[in-house]
Amino acid sequence: MDFIRGVAVLGLVYMNAYAFGLFEYGYTSLTNPPVSDSIIHTFSSLFVDGRFRTLFSLLFGAGLYIQWQRYKSELQLKSRLYWLILFGLAHGFLLWAGDILFVYGVSGWFVIKYLESDSTVLLKRGLEFILLSGVVTLLVISSVPDEIIYRDTAQFIDLYNPHYIDYFISNLAMNTLMLVMVPIMTMWMCVGLMLIGIYLYKQGVFSKGLTTQQLIVCGAMTLVFCGIRLYASQLNGSLGYGVQEFVNMFAALGMATLYIHLIVKFCNNSAHVGTLIQQAGRLAFTLYISQTLIQLLLYKVLFTHWVLSFDRIDYWLVATTLVALQLIFTFLYSRYFNQGPLECVWRKLTKVKISA
């Protein structure tokens, strides 16, 4: 599971890179984008967008269940989630509104009530929550007025602001909006994925992979939803984007499950396969926060003009460099320590909370 977590946290860099430009618009292309934009967009639609966030959510649910099996105590789980929520609030308001820690903490609190449920209930409720989130997401996004902006227009230049203090103020407002959306749609998606993560763990998928029948069903589902997702990418406007997001939730679930299967078969439950990626998985919290800090430094402090000129391939080159740096840090740090600095702080604060 450490290997899966390592893949998930490093994959997040490619998902989140665009949001460090203009957060509310994501990637903004030129009026006539280069061919590389189309290639990377298609590749991302199939293998990246939402996949690693989904993978993390599935892992988080399985991790909650493992901890509950170990401690048989809601106090232990709620104490960890309590600090995760606070970390998420600090991360979101002070650094970046794309935070996932807060919604994971809140969702995990809700998931606790299902830890003793049987597999049928977990799968049924999980899919129901994802469907609920998908429908609400579709309705919310489709209700937003259409606004298409290109990077080489005066409108985009007017939106661009190189001053960090202006970004900080804008981020406060954006994170407040993101928090409002948590109980409306974001939380239900995470809850659903966490429940399915517990279901997959109880089915032995994290240790043995999918059965032949499960693999066929999952593969077919993924193929269908990815195909619809690619077709939906031709739709314009808010409604088109809403449809894409709805379909992508299920495409991401299928692809993330296939990733788990492939990783389990590759590792074959060996602690010696992909050691560096496993070590990255054990430093996931530290690496996630450091990704925010480094990308803020690059895009909002040192090279603020990048957002005006970067195509998709440029963002991906920076992301690849960041992944390489994080792997080097992981290699060096893991030679001397078994636990990441933020993981250590989180663990100690949890103990303090339990003692109190």
Residue 209 has pLDDT above 80, yes or no: yes
Residue 175 has pLDDT above 80, yes or no: yes
Residue 36 has pLDDT above 80, yes or no: yes
SS3 of residue 237 by DSSP: helix
Mean pLDDT throughout 315-323? 97
Residues in a beta bridge with 26: 22
What's the confidence (pLDDT) of residue 190? Answer: 96
What's the confidence (pLDDT) of residue 72? Answer: 80
Residue 8 has pLDDT above 90, yes or no: yes
Residue 239 has pLDDT above 90, yes or no: no
Share of the chain above pLDDT 90, in %: 76
Which candidate, 90, 96, 83, places its Cα nearest to that of 343?
A: 83
Residue 89 has pLDDT above 90, yes or no: yes
User: In this predicted model, which residue has the larger pLDDT, 271 or 343?
Assistant: 343
Q: Which whole-number Å values give the CA distances from 338 to 170, 205, 237, 330, 343, in the listed order?
A: 38, 26, 49, 11, 10
Residue 157 has pLDDT above 90, yes or no: no
Mean pLDDT throughout 309-323? 96
Query: How many CA atoms, within 13 angstroms, populate the side-chain half-sphere of residue 82?
Result: 14
- The answer to whether 77 and 68 are in contact (CB under 8 A) is yes
The pLDDT tens digits for 70-87 are: 888 888 899 999 999 999
- For helices 74-94 and 51-71, angle between their N-to-C axes, nearest 10 degrees: 150
The pLDDT tens digits for 261-307 are: 999 999 887 777 789 999 999 999 999 999 999 999 999 999 999 99
- N-term to C-term CA, the chain: 31
Look at the pTM and tell me if it is higher than 0.75: yes
- The answer to whether 249 and 185 are in contact (CB under 8 A) is no
Residue 356 has pLDDT above 80, yes or no: no
- Per-residue pLDDT band for 99 (boundaries 50, 70, 90) equals very high
Q: DSSP letters along 122-134, please?
A: HHHHHHHHHHHHH
Separation CA 168–CA 170 (nearest Å): 5
Which range (22-26, 73-77, 170-174, 209-213) has the least confidence? 22-26
Domain spans, the chain: 2-9+34-355
The pLDDT tens digits for 39-48 are: 999 999 999 9
User: Please, what is the average pLDDT of the chain?
Assistant: 92
